[in-house]
Chains A and B, each alone.
Chain A
């Protein structure tokens, strides 16, 4: 079995031919975790006994001709803020360290229904607040391409595990780039779907108007397989959209990767001229544009004039929503309690002891921008600028089919390199705007920088245009400067 080149599609094909069992696949990944995760630290938990039992059950179904789908028996890693029945869900926070979920998130329930096996709990920045995984209360996940560097965040555990081939694919969540940025840093594919495409039921809320669950995979085809499974209206999430399901796997498999005739690629000038854009990332983008042009694509300069305000708008809206969402964590009904005097004093003590520094910073900022006298000046104003940012995208998409941009200004940085919180926030400049606008976007690995670290490129499509997004992503993948992204770990 070639685990280094394993994908969901390849595993399914091998299982269908009887060349691979779920037990063999799960065992191979458990061995990979035992061997590599001492260096990578992507997993908070894996339960080998339970996973092997699930694999055996899958093999028995398939043998009896009752496989739940062609994907039955394939493991998929789960970010620690997405609940799985009977498993802990800590959000990498001390406050929720031992909390066991009594139910499945809708995304996980839909994957299970097709036979996918939830495989382990993946590390993240605490409550998904961070861009490096350094804010986990439990461990620092390393980048499999260079273990002195961060994997990105907040879905850093998911990205590192998929890149290091410790699991076939994973679910992440993206509030301001938390799928796309670590995907780019680790050389894998990561998709942030249109807001409302994937139900948020069972995703621990960070910023409810921005959060989306999405796939993190080693191929665009695999991302399509997972999205096809998890998209669609859910009565348990009133913000999930009641729209026809896209047929993404068909779209990806039917994509002709040799031509982009008639496709207009928009290049947002504000992104290309952003301060801090590294030479290597710029060169990768230029190389991709050259290549895509040779396939017949037309390049169009577009403008997203409110780009410079996106980070400020994001850190007002996201923290305001977070301060409200995280108010529920008080150590009373579940989670770690620190008793101190009366009930209210215990709230203070439990929250003070349970939350890490970055979570505290964001709760404070969110509380401040919502506090009496400041609401209009910050929160309401940010919501109005959010409208302008949405309109920027609407106008850009009148001139082109997709946008192509960097994912991050530079490749993965070293541990401790960005110790100033504001500096960390500013590195999200290319990813956060589409959480504000609701558009879909993805990171596709393209090449390596001069130091051997992966560079992904971001494709952005209009809301609900996932078929276009993934088809274009597939063409980019097939024409990438580097044919495959396998770290030597």
Chain B
């Protein structure tokens, strides 16, 4: 496992993971901010946490079941009203997914 102390955060790389375009002019400042924040959160490494169970939720609940019953959904036009681009009033138009020839 990589340890946080000897690994530097690379903002440009993490932005790729997060699918986030960064303005090139902002990368240096972000890098500085992030390093300061990571330095700060590294103080947790001084605590001995062996044998301690992690808390994922403040009020732990497991396996909340319900019957699988069909229910009415929303009208198509209502959902499409928020779409940035649609085709023929019934589909969401998206940019090309696979490389190759363009689609009509």
- Taking the nearest CB of chain A, how far is it from the CB of B93, in angstroms? 10
Task: Note all chain A residues with C-beta closer than 8 A to B45.
Answer: 377, 381
**Chain A, 360-397, contact with B by CB distance < 8 Å: what is the 0/1 string?**
11011101110101101110111111111010000000
Q: Do B55 and A367 touch (CB < 8 A)?
A: no
- Taking the nearest CB of chain A, how far is it from the CB of B103, in angstroms? 12
Task: Note all chain B residues with C-beta closer than 8 A to A239.
Answer: 57, 59, 61
Closest to B51 in A: A384
Contact count A vs B, C-beta below 8 Å: 188
Known: A342-B99, A365-B37, A367-B14. A387 touches B61 (CB 8 A): no
Kindly state whether residue B28 has any CB partner on chain A within 8 Å.
no
- Taking the nearest CB of chain A, how far is it from the CB of B51, in angstroms? 9
Known: A315-B41, A367-B14. A342 touches B95 (CB 8 A): yes
CA distance A380 to B49 in the complex (A): 10
Closest to A382 in B: B44
| Size of interface on A: residues with Cβ below 8 Å to B | 81
Closest to B29 in A: A357
Kindly state whether residue B53 has any CB partner on chain A within 8 Å.
yes
CA distance A209 to B58 in the complex (A): 7
CA distance A331 to B37 in the complex (A): 29
CA distance A369 to B38 in the complex (A): 9
Kindly state whether residue B56 has any CB partner on chain A within 8 Å.
yes
CA distance A330 to B94 in the complex (A): 11
CA distance A343 to B20 in the complex (A): 13
Kindly state whether residue A300 has any CB partner on chain B within 8 Å.
no
Q: Do B14 and A368 touch (CB < 8 A)?
A: yes
- Taking the nearest CB of chain A, how far is it from the CB of B102, in angstroms? 10
CA distance A309 to B52 in the complex (A): 16
Q: Do B30 and A373 touch (CB < 8 A)?
A: no
Which A241-265 residues have C-beta < 8 A from chain B? 241
Neighbour of B94 across the interface among A332, A336, A438, CB < 8 A: A332
Q: Chain A CB within 10 Å — which of B4, B56, B58 has the most?
A: B58
Kindly state whether residue A296 has any CB partner on chain B within 8 Å.
no
Closest to A426 in B: B40
Kindly state whether residue A437 has any CB partner on chain B within 8 Å.
yes
- Taking the nearest CB of chain A, how far is it from the CB of B96, in angstroms? 5
Question: What's the dominant secondary structure at chain A's contact region?
Answer: helix
Q: Do B79 and A102 touch (CB < 8 A)?
A: yes
Interface pick from A141-149, A283-291, A347-355: A347-355
Task: Note all chain B residues with C-beta closer than 8 A to A390.
Answer: 55, 58
Neighbour of B41 across the interface among A99, A241, A316, A334, CB < 8 A: A316
Which B16-67 residues have C-beta < 8 A from chain A? 17-23, 26, 30, 33-34, 36-38, 40-41, 43-45, 47, 49, 52-59, 61, 64, 66
CA distance A194 to B58 in the complex (A): 9
Q: Do A330 and B19 touch (CB < 8 A)?
A: yes
Task: Note all chain A residues with C-beta closer than 8 A to B82.
Answer: 98-100, 102, 333-335
Neighbour of A422 across the interface among B40, B49, B56, B94, CB < 8 A: B40
Kindly state whether residue A275 has any CB partner on chain B within 8 Å.
no
Closest to A358 in B: B33
Known: A312-B41, A421-B33. A360 touches B20 (CB 8 A): yes
Closest to A316 in B: B41
Kindly state whether residue B2 has any CB partner on chain A within 8 Å.
yes
Known: A195-B58, A377-B1, A390-B58. A363 touches B84 (CB 8 A): no
Q: Do B9 and A368 touch (CB < 8 A)?
A: yes
CA distance A435 to B78 in the complex (A): 35
CA distance A306 to B61 in the complex (A): 25
- Taking the nearest CB of chain B, how far is it from the CB of A209, in angstroms? 5
Task: Note all chain B residues with C-beta closer than 8 A to A463.
Answer: 58-59
Neighbour of A309 across the interface among B3, B44, B64, CB < 8 A: B44
Closest 10 pairs between A and B when the two form their complex, measured CB to CB: A438-B58, A352-B21, A383-B54, A373-B2, A334-B82, A337-B84, A238-B64, A384-B49, A195-B58, A348-B21
18 A/B residue pairs, CB under 8 Å, sorted by A: A102-B79, A209-B57, A209-B58, A241-B61, A309-B43, A312-B41, A327-B18, A334-B83, A336-B84, A339-B95, A343-B97, A351-B19, A357-B26, A365-B34, A368-B9, A385-B47, A387-B53, A436-B55
